[in-house]
Amino acid sequence: MTTFAGTPPPARNRAAGDLRTIRVLWQREMIRFARRRVRIAMGLVSPLMFLLVLGTGLGSAIGDGDDAGRYRAYLFPGMLLMAAQAPALAVGASILWDRQSGFLRQMLVAPVRRPALIAGICLGGASTGAAHGALVLVLAGTAHVPYDARLLLALVEVGLLSFAFTALGVLLAVCVRRPDTYQVVAGLFLMPLLFLSGALFPVGRLPAWLNAAVLVNPLTYGIDALRRTLSGPLDLGGVARGPRWNGWAPPVALELGIVALLAAAALAVATSRFSRTG
């Protein structure tokens, strides 16, 4: 078929080009992940220290050995989230370094659509975050979480959370111009979200003013979905009570939908601003 100059390519060709772009950018992030062995090791050591030291210490402070074990099981989903967020947010920082090196400008002038670029970057970040989460899931036995099919479901949920973190990181990266500023802003933005998500302490008995902040935090629902998936028949001593709206607990599917909505919104805004980052 003859294509005249100025005629847009067929939709099938555009779709194939988008998929190729997504695959290349995803492979780029996975190659980066495989080469950073020290970061992979630290991504495994840090959650292990939190589980064994913080989990055991705080668990012992609230009761006997059984309570300490239950608290480690309660803390485990939060450690999964912490392990997944660091590599996912690092993707946003890499965009800023790509801008300084000139590689980002080359991507922007390439004959590919902006949504494909963003999708490839975010899928790469989600994959690296899920890979770190998979390493932490190997430690499930230290938190008295059984090795069964629920771990696979949890890994899918970690992938969704990693995608949300990557989308937020990319959104920050297209709004911030300097890598050092990005690190500060990301820390200030995500630390309150982490603390007010129930990752480290139960949210069921918080005062009303603090409980309101917990209920509007999207990460609260991601953590609660992970915890309900992993706990199963485990007896957590009643501490695993998640977010409640007038006594009503949202189902896991709705909680994951809230996380997906957050990711989609961040992705849409980041895509609309991405062309200005060159």
* Pairwise CA distance, residues 256 & 216, whole Å: 14
Q: What is the DSSP letter of 245?
A: B
Show the tokens assigned to 152.
Answer: 């696979």
Helices (H), 36-113: 37-49, 56-62, 65-101, 103-109
pLDDT of res. 260: 93
Looking at 4-13, 96-105, 220-229, 261-270, which range is the least confident one? 4-13
Checking if the pLDDT of 44 tops 50, the result is: yes
Distance, in Å, from the CA atom of 64 to the CA atom of 51, rounded to the nearest integer, reads 16
Residue length of the chain? 278
Instruction: Measure the CA–CA gap between 245 and 266, rounded to whole angstroms.
Output: 25
At residue 110 the predicted structure's pLDDT band, cuts being 50, 70 and 90, is low
pTM for the full predicted model? 0.82
Which residues are registered as beta bridge partners of 245?
248
Residue 230 has pLDDT above 60, yes or no: yes
Using the predicted structure, report yes or no on whether residue 236 has a pLDDT greater than 60. no
Residue 275 pLDDT grade (very low, low, confident, very high; cuts 50, 70, 90):
low
> What pLDDT shows up at residue 213?
85
Name which residue leads in pLDDT, 17 or 22: 22
